[in-house]
Amino acid sequence: MQQHITVVGGGFAGLVAAIGGAEAGARVTLYEAHRALGGRARTADGPYRTNEGPHALYNRGPHWSWLKRRGLLGELAAVPPREAARFRFHRAGRLHRVPPLALLRLARHKEAPVDADFASWAAGRVGEAGARAAAHFMAVALFHHDPGRLSAAFVQERLRRVTSLPPEATYVRGGWGTMIGRMADHARALGVRIETGARVGSLDALPAGHGPVIVATSLDAARGLLGDPSLSWESGRCALLDLGLRTRRGDAFVVSDLDAPGWIERFTAQDPTLAPAGEQLVQAQLPVAPGTGREAGVARAERLLDLGFPGWRERVTYRREALAGGRTGAVDLPGRTWRDRPAVDRGDGVYLAGDQVAAPGVLSEVSFSSALEAVASALGERVSGDRALSERAG
C-alpha cells in the first residue's frame, strides 16, 4: 500500500519535503495556512519585487545541485563586476572601498573552536578591533545583534563562505517567489495535493490515515502545534527597510557597517526586474537586540543610507519597514553545534524541518537538509551523518 505523508507548512522546507516524499513514491498532502506558498521565501507582488529580507542562494550548498537537476533554479543573476567595485565598508563614520586587513586575514582560517566565542578567538589572531569589525560584517549571514558572542566555529564557517572567491552568493531572478512557484508546480506534477488557506491547529485535526507528519514551520509555530515547550533555539531579530529609489549614478552597491552589525544592498544591481525602469530596489537589514524596537534599527539604516545613497530621501518611490523576530535562522552559542538543536525526529511519526533544527548548512541549506532527513526517516530510510545526508541531497 502506498504510504501517505502529511506536510504542514508550504515554505521552502515544506516544498522540499513534499517533492522528496513524492519522488520516493509516497502520497503527499501539504497544508499551508496562508493563501500563498513560500513562507519567508515569498516575493511581494507588484512593481517592487521584495523578498522578506535579503535572500541569496549559496551555490556550493547541498540544495544547489538538487534544485538544478530538477530545473527549479530558473534564471539566475550574478553581481556585475562594475557593481562589485561599489562595495563600501562603514568604519568610524566614513565609507571605505576596501575591507580591513584583519577581516581578510581571518577569512583564511579554515577552522575555529566550537567552545570559544568568536570575539575572543578572533581577537587572539587579529586584535580586538579587527575581531569586532569581522563580527559586524557577518550581519549579512547571521542577522544577530552581537555576533561576537556566538560560537567561533559557527561564525567562522559562515565568514569563509561569505568571503569566498569566486563569490558563492547567487540571486534568483525575479525574487525567490519565482523559484517557489516552480517548486510548487513541480510538486503538483508529481501528484502532491497542496491546500492553501488551510491552518492546522493540532495534529488531532488531521484526517484519518494522514501518515507521518513533517512539520515545516517556524519553531514558534511548531511549539504551539505540537505542545512541546522544548522547541526553542536562539535566533536573531532584524529591522528591515525596503526602499524604491529613483536611479542615481554613483550609488553604492553594498554598505556593510563594521561599527555595528548592519547591511544595505541594492538588489537591482544584479536584477533590474525587481523595480520599475528608472528605479532601484534597496533592502537593509539591521540586527536589533531583544527589547529594542524597529525604529532604532531603521534610524541606523537611514544614517548609512545618507552616506551610501546621497539624496535618497528625495528619491523615494516606495518604502516598507518590518521587524523580523525569531525568523532569521538558528544561531549557535559557544559549546553548541547544529547537532544540539531540536531533533528532526520527534517520535510517534512526527518530524521537524526548517532553519532552526538539527541539520547542517547555512540559512536555507538547513531547511533543505532537514526536510530531506525528515522524509528519509518518515519512509524508514535511515540517513545518518553529514556525508550520507549530502549524498542523498546531491
Q: How far apart (Å, rounded) are the C-alpha atoms in residues 346 and 42?
A: 28
Residues 334-393: tens digit of each pLDDT: 999 999 999 999 999 999 999 999 999 988 999 999 999 999 999 987 433 333 344 444
Residue 252 · residue 65 · CB < 8 Å: no
197 and 60: one domain?
yes
CATH classification of the domain holding 142? 3.90.660.50
151 and 16: one domain?
no
CB atoms within 10 A of CB 387: 9
pLDDT higher than 70, residue 394: no
CA angle at residue 291 from 285 to 292, to 5 degrees? 40
Domain count, the chain: 2
Instruction: Write down how long the chain is.
Output: 394
pLDDT at 34: 95
261 and 384: one domain?
no
DSSP helix/strand/coil, 339: helix
Select from 333, 263, 327, 283 the least CA-distant residue to 40.
327
Domain extent for 262: 80-166+237-325
338 and 388: one domain?
yes
pLDDT higher than 90, residue 47: yes
In what helix (H) or strand (E) does residue 369 lie, and over which residues does it extend? helix 364-378
Grid coordinates representing 130 are: 579587527
- The model carries a pTM of 0.94
93 and 157: one domain?
yes
87 and 150: one domain?
yes
Instruction: Identify the domain boundary among 274, 294, 325.
Output: 325
DSSP codes of every residue in 43-107: B--SSS--BSS---EETTSHHHHHHHHTT-S-SEE---HHHHTTEEEEETTEEESS--HHHHHHH
**Helix segments in 117-257, DSSP class H:** 118-137, 139-142, 152-162, 176-189, 219-226
221 and 252: one domain?
no
Instruction: Identify the domain boundary among 325, 351, 372.
Output: 325
Residue 54 · residue 228 · CB < 8 Å: no
Instruction: Identify the domain boundary among 306, 325, 344.
Output: 325
CATH classification of the domain holding 182? 3.50.50.60
Cα 56–chain centre separation:
8
Select from 388, 20, 387 the least CA-distant residue to 187.
20
Mean pLDDT for the stretch of residues 287-301: 95
319 and 186: one domain?
no
pLDDT higher than 90, residue 60: no
130 and 151: one domain?
yes
Q: Position of cell 569566486?
A: 166
pLDDT higher than 90, residue 258: yes
243 and 316: one domain?
yes
Handedness of CA 338, 168, 297, 258 (dihedral sign): positive
Q: Position of cell 529591522?
A: 239
pLDDT at 78: 85
226 and 355: one domain?
yes
241 and 320: one domain?
yes
Residues 138-195: tens digit of each pLDDT: 999 999 999 999 999 999 999 999 999 888 889 999 999 999 999 999 999 999 999 9
Select from 367, 369, 364, 362 the least CA-distant residue to 138.
362
b/e sequence 45-76, b meaning 16+ C-beta within 10 Å: eeebbbbbbbbbbbbebbbbebbeeeebbeee
Q: How far apart (Å, rounded) are the C-alpha atoms in residues 306 and 144?
A: 23
